[in-house]
Amino acid sequence: MQPVTSPIPQLEFEDAALDKHLGLISMDRPKIVFDFGPANRLLGGIYPCQMTAFGASPGAGKTTLMGQLADGVAASGNPVLFITEELPAHKLVCKSLVRLSKGALTLGDIPENVAADTTSLAAFEAAVGCYRATIAPNISYASVSSVADIGRLVGECIHACGKTPVVFIDYLQLLATKSAAPFADERLAINDCVTQLRAVCNTYGTSLYVASSVSREFYGSKPPSLKMFGGASTVEYSFDNALYLHEDKERCDAFNRKALKLTAIKARYRALDSAPLTFDGAHAVFREVV
């Protein structure tokens, strides 16, 4: 087997390359936009070959936020691959149906109250019809054994749809430990997993959104930092963007619903910023504060 060699670099000054680079700059636009304003403001939309980490402490709602973003991408007609290592797929679909009911249903209503109340049943059937028509044709849920399986599914989606899917992964630590060798060190497993995800991102030109837990020392009021991502330096350097979903202490008493803030702590191609949100857990929805 011959060793893989890189092409020999050629010296080219910018007076010869400038027009090519200007052309690339003019085409450097998001291929898709989210239907959620704060995500667009912090990330600029969905760009090919970019990896974004969503960090949050347990219970902050990162799975719900990822699902809400994924539903919006799928409803716009773009394929979505949602790797779920924490919740079974039907639980995520249930959250989607509650969101689509626009307040008529809560997570506690399904399935008991739906079967017992005609109004709830009508709202549920309407949500199912909307989901079946808009989201279901474009979203695929999967649990995988390794990052290589994700690459395979991305390739299958491109072949089936003619489009590169947007990939959501819930969540990094579970995927890393699941695909690692037995008794492997967790940090090494995360580093290896992130390196492989970067390869999938670059090979297929896809966009990856990866939920991640954060170190316990950041559960409280400690200022957000890239160090919160489990101490794995590869997370700090390999991701293009890192967002942190956390409590907004300044607004805790101003809203009946949970007041949160989505803060960009790394944005390779944009200025850092934050967006105030409210989280309505019963209705499985995040809302922008305007």
Q: Please write the tens of the pLDDT for every residue from 192-220.
A: 899 999 999 999 999 999 998 887 766 66
Residues 6+ apart with CB under 8 A from 22: none
Domains along the chain with CATH numbers: 45-288 (3.40.50.300)
The per-residue pLDDT for 182 is 67
Q: In 3D, which of 279, 288, 285, 290 has the Cα closest to residue 257?
A: 279
Cα 43 to Cα 37: distance, rounded to the nearest angstrom: 10
pLDDT (tens digit, 0 to 9) for every residue of the chain, 290 residues total? Answer: 455 566 788 899 999 999 999 998 888 889 899 999 999 999 999 999 999 999 888 888 999 999 999 999 999 999 999 999 999 999 999 999 999 999 999 999 998 888 888 999 999 999 999 999 999 999 999 999 999 999 999 999 999 999 999 999 998 989 998 877 666 677 888 888 999 999 999 999 999 999 988 877 666 666 777 777 765 577 778 899 999 998 887 665 544 568 899 999 999 888 899 999 999 999 999 999 98
Q: In 3D, which of 60, 29, 30, 59 has the Cα closest to residue 45?
A: 30
The per-residue pLDDT for 183 is 62
Bond preceding residue 111 cis, omega within 30 of 0: yes
Q: In 3D, which of 165, 136, 172 has the Cα closest to residue 151?
A: 165
Q: In 3D, which of 105, 156, 107, 147 has the Cα closest to residue 126?
A: 105
Q: What secondary structure letter does DSSP report for 7?
A: P
The per-residue pLDDT for 1 is 43
Q: What is the pTM of this model?
A: 0.89
The per-residue pLDDT for 230 is 61
